[in-house]
Structure 1
Amino acid sequence: MTNRTASLSILLVEDDAEIARLLGMLFTSEGFTFHLVDHDDEAVEAIRQHLPNIVILDVMLPGMSGVDICRSIRTFYQGAVMMLTASEDDITEIASLNVGADDYLTKPVRPHVLMAHIHSLLRRVQPSTPAITVYCNGALRVDLASRQAEVNRQAIPLTSSEFDLLALLIKHEGQIVSRDHCYQQLRGIEYDGIDRSMDMRISGLRKKLEQLEQDSPIIQTIRGKGYMLVKIR
């Protein structure tokens, strides 16, 4: 057990006993506290009870799908959510990201790749305290230490991935943040020139900030370059 993961927990929702056994062995060997839920109808309550650092959901469950579970828990759970699936269906991936998933991996996934994604998620949801913890732009206030965003002192319900994206943009207010930089900072991977999951996250974040819009969206897509959070008057 390592000091880095000794106090961290993972909750896995998986109905395949062999996959659950192997992943449980992997996570415990890495020092995580491991919780397994093998029935989809028990998943939401188990997540509410344990509030783990990371929830990993199998997309294809016999009853309530992983996408449905993700949608349900986002009303109270602010931690990281990873989806695992044997399907390479783009529609399911987009649906997962739209309901608040932070990462999406296709089975079979190599153990070291899975752990790299998990540690990347942990760095995002449990960042070290930065020198500047609060950023303001007009009526928008983003507190990095508490991971809270407010508009006119009213909290905005953001997922972990949406908050991370907003934090990255507000740190570079008025500057273009390239897609490459977004993928490297937020997903720990290189942008392949094809994936559009970051565009989907930008779209979702815009909707939650639409009350701040002026003559144009406050988060602008700069064609061929990236994204920019403009100065709010």
Structure 2
Amino acid sequence: MRTIMVVEDDPAISRVLAAYVKKAGFECAVFSQGELAIGQLAVIQPALILLDVMLPEMDGWDVLREVRSRSTCPVIMLTAKGGIDDRLQGLNSGADDYMSKPFEPDEVIARIQAVLRRPPHALITEGMKQYGSLQIDFKSKSVRLNGADLSLTPKDLALLLFLAEHPNQIFHREQLIEHVWGIDYDGSDRAVDHAIKRLRQSLQEMSPADGGIRTLRGTGYQFYANKPG
């Protein structure tokens, strides 16, 4: 049975989340401190983490960074802050989804199930891929072209990393919005088109024989590539 890890210092919220998680058919492991949760990450190997931002000592952002350095486990951030800047910080820091308090427990379960239905991230985040002159380090989240670091916005970088993790697969706008921008995103899906345009400009010195970003009219986008080195 899959385990959901709840990292929340409010006992009342933890109890409610644990009850609903178990009712949905999952095991539940509850921690009130981020350090304790990180220490048990490899042992429990959770299917997903519900992570509160306002934790004592080690806050949720630090916990998220530590989780991302060790695991591709999906993370849903929970916080009393609901501003767009806070949501973007969470999604740009590697969270898979973001929920503001107060929330309905049923919606939390729906979000968990939605995230778990997504294709799993490949463990290539532990290493590096090379497509001709393009080098992508998934662990450090850095990109080099012809030996020079590419300066990309956080969202453009996240989009490139996602597409490069799934070479030669086609994704339509709605899928890219869900995987890269997050299901809470309420802006225009044209943001995908603008990001793709910027990425093409950044990768214009890449040889077409090695790969690149392709638009398939009426279908979506793909990072087409030969077998990486």
Do the two structures share a fold, i.e. TM-score over 0.5?
Answer: yes
Distance 1:75 1:191, change over 3 A: closer
Deviates more, 1:190-199 or 1:104-113: 190-199
Q: State the distance in 2 between where 1:39 and 1:66 align.
A: 9
For residues 9-48 of structure 1, the C-alpha deviation after alignment (integer angstroms, 9 at most, x for no partner) is: 1101100000000001111111111000112332321223
Runs (5+) with no aligned partner, structure 1:
1-6, 127-143
Distance 1:105 1:195, change over 3 A: farther
In the TM superposition, 1:113-128 aligns within 5 A as 113-126=107-120
Distance 1:68 1:14, change over 3 A: same
Question: Which AA in structure 1 matches 2:206?
Answer: Q
Aligned residue number for residue 112 of structure 1: 106
For residues 141-183 of structure 1, the C-alpha deviation after alignment (integer angstroms, 9 at most, x for no partner) is: xxx8x65475249973399x877654567312xxxx5433433
Aligned residue number for residue 64 of structure 1: 58
Establish whether residue 157 from structure 1 lines up as the match of residue 139 from structure 2: yes
Establish whether residue 46 from structure 1 lines up as the match of residue 40 from structure 2: yes
Question: Which AA in structure 2 matches 1:171?
Answer: Q
Contact 1:148–1:155 under 8 Å retained in 2: no
Establish whether residue 13 from structure 1 lines up as the match of residue 7 from structure 2: yes
Q: State the distance in 2 between where 1:20 and 1:190 align.
A: 23
1:214 to 189, 206, 214: 206
In the TM superposition, 1:64-213 aligns within 5 A as 64-126=58-120, 148=124, 151-152=129-130, 156-157=138-139, 166=164, 170-172=168-170, 177-183=171-177, 189=183, 192-193=186-187
- Secondary structure class of the residue paired with 1:67: helix
Contact 2:167–2:225 under 8 Å retained in 1: no
Distance 1:152 1:184, change over 3 A: closer
Question: Which AA in structure 1 matches 2:129?
Answer: V
Distance 1:191 1:36, change over 3 A: closer
Q: State the distance in 1 between where 2:52 and 2:189 align.
A: 22
After superposition, the CA RMSD in angstroms is 4.2
Identity %: 29
The alpha carbon displacement at 1:196 in A equals 9.9
Distance 1:96 1:226, change over 3 A: farther
Q: State the distance in 1 between where 2:58 and 2:192 align.
A: 26
Contact 2:21–2:27 under 8 Å retained in 1: yes
Contact 2:4–2:26 under 8 Å retained in 1: yes
Q: State the distance in 1 between where 2:163 and 2:111 align.
A: 17
Distance 1:182 1:214, change over 3 A: same
- Secondary structure class of the residue paired with 1:214: coil
Contact 1:169–1:228 under 8 Å retained in 2: no
Runs (5+) with no aligned partner, structure 2:
142-157
Figure out how many residues of one structure are paired with residues of the other and give that number: 195
The alpha carbon displacement at 1:68 in A equals 0.9
Distance 1:181 1:72, change over 3 A: closer
